Amino acid sequence: MKDMSYESMMGRKNKIMKDAVGIDYSNLEYGILAFDYEKLMKMVPYSFEKIQKIQKESKVGNTPLFELKNLTRMVRSVSPKGKGARIFVKDESANGSGSFKDRRASLSVYHAKKMGYKGAIAATSGNYGAAVASQASQRGIKSIVIQEVFDSRKVGQPEILEKARKCEALGSEVVQLTTGPELFYVFLRLLEETGYFNSSLYTPYGIAGVETLGYEIAEEIMKNEGRFPDAVVVTHAGGGNLTGTARGLIRAGAKETKVIGASVNLKGLHMASDHDFNKKSFTTGHTGFGIPFITLPDRSDVPRNAARALRYIDRYVTVNQGEVFYVTQALAILEGLERGPAGNTSLAAAISIAGEMDEDQIVVVQETEYTGAGKHPTSQLTFARENGIEVRRGNPREEVPGESVIIPETFDQIKAVTLDLEKLKQSYIKSAVSNVDINDLTEKDIDFLVEDSNWDKEKVVNYLEFLK
């Protein structure tokens, strides 16, 4: 009998991961802290054309692209003369399980089946679980989705409960946990006990699957408008959405398109806190994931995260919870599209950003997601009130995460806040070298930090000197 204690499981996690993913990450590492990122991405043994074919046969990709003309007119009505870029949206709710996560799951599950795994496991409270369930059912293998759902009172988030319902409807076994450190332990234990594939969001398979999304956006805008989009706004959480989309844009030739990350502002709420767990009205696409993952990407469930947002992000903005709820309703009323909260995070940001841009420019909201009972604003706002959160109309700048949700009174109150990328890059460098002697860093290590932070080498070197 194996020792299944927490300490023993953590001690053999690298072997469990290697067996469950089929990648020996140690072969990628060099120097003190560096690894070969592009070599990691090349470990996906499928051409881009093959990935497109895999997705097509499993009801993924080639989703509609809509111009949001009514929302664009609203933006122009509250913007200076000549401002108000055209807003487009890529409707990823048209994928099999209802979100862009189908792109990530399609490749992971296909590879799992090809390599002889009997099933796939994903640790996620988001749409990815439904995507894995959908793809596994189509490929004829089993799936397990592990979720953090409850606080210690056994009170569950309505949005996560809705996603659990969908996972089960699509054929997956769902394991539900309270918030806390046991998630990774349970994940490792199930991987070892079942021998299933680790269908992590952060393997190169998960990122390569999203490249088709960025590629389609670039190709469709070029075909319809004769040029590439000026900006693409991506909801940012763990970084895979942004990384894959950016790589797809580059693959299509849209190298000048600005990639803008957007997160819901949940400043002050700790994502692992039992007290804070049910004080938030968004379970993904918020700063509780976005900032930690952009500054320390290798905190994921694989040794080296293929999602490296700093390599690709040109700007990072936040919007408030109330603004996203307002935009969700505006999208439904003005454009006839009822969609879930995550994609509307990037839409809220895009509405603000479009007001800064010229009328002849194009901004694309890169995804939508399905909506459902627990994902609807009514459920979320009722749940907020039940947990002592003040919900009212007013100035969203007065919103305090965990205390209030303030829904704008007028359209012009939607204002994205730009975060300081320079400070985030400093934070990344500081985290990356926290467990090493800076004096031992090789030139290759420094070059890796330059690539991974997308920062000037002189700035990296100077900041390393400052940290000594």
| Over residues 272-298, mean pLDDT | 94
Q: What is the DSSP letter of 79?
A: S
Rounded to 5°, the CA angle 272-385-293 comes to: 25
Q: pLDDT tens digits, residue range 309-321?
A: 999 999 999 999 9
User: What is the rounded average pLDDT for all residues in the chain?
Assistant: 96
Asked whether residue 14 carries a pLDDT value surpassing 90, the answer given is no
Dist. CA 356–CA 80, nearest whole Å: 9
The model's confidence at residue 182, banded by pLDDT at 50, 70 and 90, is confident
Spatial strand order of the sheet with 417-418 comes to 65-67, 86-90, 362-365, 231-235, 258-264, 315-319, 417-418
Q: pLDDT tens digits, residue range 363-408?
A: 999 999 999 889 999 999 999 999 999 999 999 999 999 999 999 9
What phi and psi values does residue 408 have, to the nearest 5 degrees?
-55, 150
Which two three-digit tokens encode residue 377? 């604003």
* Cβ(370)–Cβ(99) below 8 Å: yes
CA neighbor of 21 nearest in space, from 103, 121, 101: 121
Asked whether residue 1 carries a pLDDT value surpassing 80, the answer given is no
Helix and strand numbers (H, E) in the chain are 18, 15
pLDDT, position 212: 98
pLDDT, position 218: 98
pLDDT, position 377: 92
Q: pLDDT tens digits, residue range 53-80?
A: 999 999 999 999 999 999 999 999 999 9
pLDDT, position 207: 97
pLDDT, position 272: 82
pLDDT, position 427: 98
Residue 427 neighbours by CB under 8 Å, 6+ apart = 295
